[in-house]
Amino acid sequence: MNELKGLIYNLQPFAVHDGPGIRTLIYMKGCPLRCLWCSTPQTQKMGYEIIHIESHCRKCGRCAEVCSNGAIMIPPEGNLMIDRKRCTYCAKCIEICPHQALELAGKYMTVPELFDEIEKDQPFFRRSNGGITMGGGEATMQHEFVAEFLKKCKQHYIHTAMETCGHIAWEHLEKLLTYLDLIYLDIKHMDSPMHKTLTGVANDFVLDNARKVCSSHPVIFRIPVVPGINDSYENISATAKFAAAMGENLLRIELLPYHQFGAQTYFRLGRKYELSGIEPPEDSHMRRLKILVESFGIKAQIGG
């Protein structure tokens, strides 16, 4: 039997900012969007990725020796180069690297395997009214697997939450909602063409899904506040106005200040960080945006 497997980037126990209580955050691989500010680019691709941790690397050359695809080059100056088009993710280089400088992002797990892992923290969920949160990447991309997994969580009385970009066919999302207690939905930009420029897709799906989800489930909107990109009063007002029409199920808007913790990861994936010039928003600006949102009668919070 071909057992259902999910591709998972990582599990983060003791997550405290992504839903009530102490939670385990599950980073799924794959995302239909390519947000410029993404802080976890290693989760975007639906498939394995090689991460090279330059600070651990001693350029010993062992990885290049074992790579039968000739995907690794070690220039005399500067960083090791991986030709990711040639790489077949055989992981030989990772096994051989004596300095833990290479990592494989991505791990296939069955539903019971993943459940066994998260179940370890049941004593913490129970004490804190916590649970699990599906994140990523975009968990809905692996909706079949995620549905099975969430179903199992609910069978065991575990609180479930999911973060989603909202860009997904409604029937898939609807299936997941059956097993979800709380939804975090990103509203990245209210202007559709702008949304497309920033994330690669238009926002009509997102807004439409938002309306539907709010009709049945408690929802929290999240806005990654990126200076000069979506932090204008105009855009935030538009979002708040949209939220105000959602009714009681919309619990609040969380304004997440943009940060650069992920910048390094782009480099480690051999990618370029497009937003390098942008600084995190000023605290005072964040506070003003919070007040702005609240003026629409919507609860607001800075940070998760």
Binding-site ranges for other proteins (CB under 8 A): 12-17, 21-22, 96-100, 120-121, 123-124, 127-128, 130, 301, 303
Site mask for ligand SF4 (CB under 6 A), range 21-50, x = bound: -----------------------------x
Tell me which residue of 101, 102, 89 sits closest to 48, measured CA to CA.
89
CB of 21 to other proteins, least distance (A): 7
Q: What is d(CA 117, CA 162) in angstroms, rounded to the nearest whole number?
A: 18
Q: Encoding tokens for residue 276?
A: 């390098």
Tell me which residue of 100, 126, 104 sits closest to 21, measured CA to CA.
126
Contact 36, 274 (CB under 8 A): yes
Nearer residue to other proteins within complex by CB, 13 or 32: 13
Query: What residue type is 291 in one-letter code?
Result: I
Q: Which of 5, 20, 79, 92 touches ligand SF4 (CB under 6 A)? A: 92
CB of 7 to ligand SF4, least distance (A): 16
Q: Encoding tokens for residue 118?
A: 């998260």
Contact 239, 210 (CB under 8 A): no
CB of 136 to other proteins, least distance (A): 16
Contacts of 284 (CB under 8 A, 6+ apart): none
Which among 57-65, 118-126, 215-223, 281-289 is the span making contact with ligand SF4, rule CB under 6 A?
A: 57-65
Binding residues for ligand SF4 (CB under 6 A): 50, 57-63, 66-67, 69, 71-72, 74, 80, 82, 87-93, 97, 99, 101-102
